[in-house]
Amino acid sequence: MANCYHHSLSSVKKWGGKPEDYQAIHDWFDESKKIMADFRHRALRHHAEGCFACEKEFGVAIKNSDGRYVPVRLIAERHIIEDLGYIPSMSDWFKQIKPTKWMMRGGYLKTKDLIDDKNINKLGVRI
Ligand SMILES: [Zn+2]
């Protein structure tokens, strides 16, 4: 889904109430678009830990305008599934980071077991 409002409409379809009952939660998830405007912003909160962080931010449940209590984590999980198709772990995102020299400053990977051949280690970094 491209827009938080559409996530809110989806939440209304699932749990009732009005879009504004859910808007703050969906806005919180996609707030990282102000850091990076493309899909990569999702690495910040679109994962299992993000669901728990969302719960910490908004509480265990919200009461929608129909008077129904909806668990925040379910709203969070649905948001991520709508965006990604499943709920990755934070480490799934981290595994996609291509290590570069500036990231490893002070901690270069020189261990022999990380070396596949003489020029490229297992992380794909040319050494
Ligand atoms: Zn999103």
Task: Tell me the per-residue pLDDT of 34-83, one tens digit each, with 9 for 90 and over.
Answer: 999 999 999 999 999 999 999 999 999 999 999 999 999 999 999 999 99
Confidence check: pLDDT of 120 > 90: no
Torsion, Cα 12 15 18 19, to 10 degrees, reads -40
Handedness of CA 118, 123, 125, 127 (dihedral sign): negative
Confidence check: pLDDT of 115 > 60: no
pLDDT of residue 106: 73
Between the CA of 6 and the centroid of ligand 1 the distance, in Å, is: 10
Nearby residues for ligand 1 (ion, Cβ within 5 Å): 29-30, 83
Structural domain boundaries in the chain = 4-96, 98-127
Mean pLDDT for the chain?
A: 88
Percent of the residues in the chain that have a pLDDT greater than 90, as a whole number: 74
The rounded distance, in Å, linking the Cα atoms of 125 and 31 is 32
The rounded distance, in Å, linking the Cα atoms of 101 and 16 is 50
